[in-house]
Chains A and B, each alone.
Chain A
């Protein structure tokens, strides 16, 4: 009897232990192993937009282009990327949070079998949308760092991707845009409204956006390769954004779906972001209608006061961001009619055939910018009549006139302005007090790259002329 009990016990335990497949214990029961393509696209788009809109957080280009100074922690205003960690954040967000999700979204779409709800045209449209956002992200990356992992990137089976030549990447990106344009078709649908944060599924708007992106990218080549720039810009301009209805604007909501600037300016209670003197003085000098939208009044004096970049000041004595600019649901303008008009003005000035005159596009760029920020038509008229603004009488060369007004208009889009200021070398901004380097022409590579992809990093640093912020990128030859 006793023995038999032990034999039973033995048998139970041994048999139990014999079960080979205990792998169900390792199954994920709280997270999805299979998901649809759309939420990955949405997430990738959101990551990219948040990074561009994260002014003052993981994106300090607002200091580089003198939109804002700092009252207390002056490091970022002095071009100190170490404390802001922007080189790491921008790299990580774009590769990991944006491009990797877009790539997976595309790979799911590529194996989706068309059916009644998702026609073949719809699937092709969706893949094109995914690729366009990706090209935009690559454009930001390649204009931020120079040579970057591209052809071998986004493959976790290759832990040491090489850095590709920046010009070659650029050429390939333009090719991809043409391919996307060929694939987009208004005869089918795109993503659903809630899945597409930029255009809510409007394929016609995606087409004009893609042309606009192409035109912007083409113009970036204007100095280094004028012939290609001309071809690309002229081909894109007619189909690029020609009205505010085609603007690419992303809406934000309340916390935690807020505009990232709200977190930096308001939630963090930093009392650190203040108006920079060059832009403030510019706005004051001709009573710019956008002044009250950009900045608030200094609490101590009730006046609009700008600050010197790189010097600590008491927050109450200078202007901070305006209430409008620090609202949680402030929309983010990815690309709009105003910016396109400035590009067209520049195109005409450079002798590209895009129709109109420099002045007509210049005026329209300014008009659309003021109107976007809530200015009345009368203010536009008055502003354009100001001799320092009016195209005929404004100071400087054609390019300088355009560059100055574009600088003012891109207030919430310092990333684009950073590209322009490197490209157009105007306006001439004073160096911050205590700047730790010359003007940053690029971001240095994330320091992590030295330890995790060392050999390829070293080769890339040598190829571009040194991994320092003052190294000029291939399109920035002046």
Chain B
């Protein structure tokens, strides 16, 4: 309906021609006479304009009177009278780094940064995409203060984007992405089976699933002009509740004058960073050291000659077995593979040539894009096509994404402009990284956690390739034919090639808008934005795999429509006082549905993946439909006094369908002010180039999750015994609450921006403090209430922090420049209170009784578990000295997953056409608890389980032979433990849970790029066609300079979201990538 009205409105607008004009040519230069490219020029009082080309030239339609306004980032804006002129040369003066920058603020309003009363940081699309990232959020890491990016090493996976710390105790703390005014749904997409088993609603837990990425991955990095990060509530209040976690405003490229073609092609190769992958011991092979006679092998006549042979105990996924000795000939897993050349042959008992790292190949990423754009006095357009194809580092992985971007504006009259953007993204993926402790789908558990170090993985690959069968090293029982089935782990190549998932997503987003300059001071914008996608996911476990073979499919569709009507007013009240106002209405309508269905009991025909191929009766599909409506009004006013004092106020009232009808509306307010004190000081402080103080206060609201106010029943599948079918209904495990009220975040912020020495050095610092109160979330409750959790208004979570950006230009000459930018953020959060008497909120529980918690008086994200018991400061060992005595309590604090601080330093060097840039990204502190290490300690695959003891004998020898170790500590009676204990699989828990909590800090050389620019002018005759060529060598994650977590990347996680942070399980190694990129402009 609204759509029709809007289009009718557009259609009815009379179309009339402008006045007589000519094409005025000109050129923009800087003080040194170098051309300024990318400067924008428009005629005062008119919309639309042109941008200078590479050589600084432009041509603008003009009526030969009026004033031209010329602006460029980093230069003072110039006003030039063109009355009577037929050609024009403009010299721009370089300015203080920040002062004349224009930033994009809420609702797409462009404002000069010098009077902005809240923190906002802008980086250019080129800077964010310097090393050609597939997901633009990856490109923000270390470049924006107050922004924490946590990436994982999954193909096409999601990226955690958190602004100024975790504010919500619930699951969504992700910043909102807004692309040219279209809000993009930023939910973390996890696999359908995970979502529908109710195991997760905000990322993946330790039990596994697939990470399908999030919204940021659907934004074309090549299409981005600039990214503005709005950090605080005062900056984002106009967007309402969904922006409570900050907004990443993305402005895409616009058409430039003339006809321009930009083509880009690049290729990147990646290999795993060995320091982030498991390192195994190479001295003792498969088995359990206890309970085995016969040298640690199974004794069985394999060849039928009546003489028993040594057979490797293949079923134990552990490496506590016999020491390698090439003189011992044993029957290993391959001796039971009839197609193997070593079938029924014994092979020497030695460490393998190819460990699990053999599994990883070279990842190859190709990307190509072509952009066509143009503009004239009537309008502009751009049309782009991009293709990115990532071939992952594991077998059978491919992620292909095609993107079409279109944008156009057209001036119907002097006063009316219509514009539209349309983006289509089509992504097809095979073999996303399975996560977690799920050995059916992921091979990381068998590499990192439980394994047999005698296994040669190249031989595993060959065994799979011979017949595409699940020839595993982990036979259940090699001594019987029925035992030749996988016990706990598949052949990794079988897993990758047959138990894979595949999915596709078709997404369309964009908007149509009509802009009407009703009066010289009043502009009205009507806009309809659409974001819609359809997703299909298929998962499978092949016949022959561990677990029940299965096939499932998940189809979901998402649609969000936003209708905006926004009036903006610009009025000079008098010579000194300016007024900018904004008044608007927003209606948001979401429609989200999904269907999930799975086979049961196995697959009848192998390799046939259809629901009908189910062995068991097919269960009813799980359907969801979760529509949502939010209506809001908003208003904002800015008063600016003589360009140095400004006062902002904004108000929004939202009404959300997810709250009880009597309490479904809530308000936001923000008040902010800034004082550019430079104006007062500049005469006395010549070293000062700019200075601004700003402060603001805001309160914003938030609604509830869909369906959290009304109780409904689950309907399990009927129970069928014989001919009787019984209908079942069950209460849900989450208790909803019809008395919820909106949650609120109160936020204050004070900031100081200064630059010195002609802007060679400067900083921008902000201190902020937020309290999120009456948080709506399902809190874990005792199940003796009948429920696992209940929705309540619980808690007050406080964040306060300090964020600072410092920049400097140590060297700047005509040919050479060196610029440094550093970002530093320190956030401290603390749970002030939880309602209803609770003192602890459990966020997630994991294996080994580890949990993550929010405890009153403590920071969010505490990692808790068992710990040692102590006697007079000494660890207590049990009486036979075989293990530490651990606490029975599981609430001991082992750490906290929040970093102490994060930061990044970018260095840019430019020498003539060359540019070199590198980014060092840092994280100090925080804890990660490694399930991988915990299990690996138990399974005997780690080097620490070998070596010599205090007597100089091999630790693994029996105690009677001088082996074993003495656990440091005291016995229950207080005497020092002197009992030597054997280290075997029976008591391999020598390193209990508290020892698996590691410092998650790191220092990484995140990005490196070396580029060479060839301007068109140097290309001779070709310059008629080619305006410029850029060649770039780029590297990403090349070097982890420092970290404390062994054998893994401390940054890696299963997916974005809160409930799996601080834990690692089945972690993937980091990919170091190096690439080459070629960009040509025509």
Residues of A that sit less than 8 Å from B by CB? 1-3, 5-6, 8-10, 12-14, 16-33, 35-36, 38-40, 42-43, 46, 72, 82, 91-92, 95-97, 99-101, 103-104, 148-149, 153-156, 158-161, 193-195, 197, 250-257, 267, 269, 271, 299-300, 311-316, 329, 434, 446-454, 467-468
Contact = CB atoms under 8 A, between A and B. Distances in A.
Nearest to B656: A22
Contact of A16 (B631, B664, B851): B631
Counting contact residues on chain B (CB < 8 A from A), the size range is: 35 or more
B786 A96 contact: yes
Given A13-B565, A26-B706, A159 B785 contact: yes
B781 A452 contact: yes
B712 interface: yes
A28 B780 CA distance: 23
A234 B1074 CA distance: 84
A253 B853 CA distance: 42
A50 B733 CA distance: 18
Interface of B: 1-2, 5-6, 8-9, 12-14, 288, 290-291, 298, 315-316, 416, 476-477, 479-480, 482-483, 485, 487, 516, 518, 524, 526, 546, 548, 563, 565, 585-587, 600-601, 615-617, 619, 623-625, 627-629, 631-633, 655-658, 660-661, 664, 706-707, 709-717, 719-722, 724-731, 733, 735, 780-788, 790, 836-840, 842, 845, 849, 851, 853, 864, 888-891, 986
Contacts of B1: 12
Contact of B890 (A21, A30, A153, A447): A447
Nearest to B516: A6
Contact of B713 (A16, A35, A92, A300): A35
Contact of A451 (B14, B290, B485, B851): B851
A316 B314 CA distance: 14
Contacts of B727: 38-39, 42, 194-195
Contacts of A72: 315-316, 487
A257 B720 contact: yes
A9 B526 CA distance: 8
Contacts of B840: 451-452, 454
Nearest to B413: A2
Contacts of B615: 255
Given A95-B783, A314-B477, 9 more contacts: A6-B9, A16-B563, A26-B658, A92-B788, A96-B733, A99-B786, A149-B784, A271-B476, A467-B888
Given A91-B783, A448-B842, A300 B479 contact: yes
A450 B721 contact: no
Contact of A33 (B658, B712, B724): B712
B729 A32 contact: yes
Nearest to A451: B840
Contacts of B790: 156, 159
Contact of A159 (B8, B658, B781): B781
A365 B781 CA distance: 44
A26 B710 contact: yes
Given A23-B661, A257-B719, A257-B721, A448 B780 contact: yes
Contacts of B836: 159
A421 B128 CA distance: 69
29 contacts: A1-B12, A2-B14, A6-B516, A16-B2, A17-B631, A25-B627, A26-B657, A26-B710, A36-B729, A40-B729, A72-B487, A100-B731, A101-B731, A149-B784, A154-B784, A156-B790, A159-B782, A159-B785, A159-B837, A197-B721, A197-B726, A254-B616, A255-B617, A256-B619, A300-B480, A314-B477, A448-B782, A448-B783, A454-B840
Contacts of B658: 25-26
Contacts of A38: 727
B330 to A, nearest CB: 16
Looking at A5, A193, A271, A468, the one whose CB has the most chain B CB atoms below 10 A away is A5
A156 B707 contact: no
A217 B781 CA distance: 31
A13 B561 CA distance: 13
Contact of B664 (A6, A14, A23, A257): A23
B838 A450 contact: no
Contacts of A158: 785
B891 A450 contact: yes
Contacts of A313: 291
A149 B782 CA distance: 10
B782 A468 contact: no
Contacts of A35: 713, 729
A17 to B, nearest CB: 4
B5 A271 contact: no
A16 B13 contact: no
A42 B476 contact: no
Given A5-B9, A95-B786, A255-B615, A452 B664 contact: no
B631 A19 contact: yes
B721 A251 contact: yes
A338 B631 CA distance: 68
A96 B967 CA distance: 43
B194 to A, nearest CB: 19
Given A9-B565, A194-B724, A271-B476, A312 B616 contact: no
B518 A6 contact: yes
A22 B657 contact: yes
Given A12-B5, A72-B315, A154 B786 contact: yes
A160 B298 contact: no
A75 to B, nearest CB: 11
A84 B625 CA distance: 36
Contacts of A18: 631
Contact of B853 (A257, A311, A451): A451
A33 B713 CA distance: 6
Given A28-B707, A299-B480, A6 B5 contact: no
B784 A450 contact: no
A251 B853 contact: no
A269 B474 CA distance: 13
B363 to A, nearest CB: 34
A316 B724 CA distance: 38
A437 B143 CA distance: 55
Contacts of B316: 72, 312
Contacts of A6: 9, 516, 518, 524, 526
Nearest to B622: A30
A271 B707 contact: no
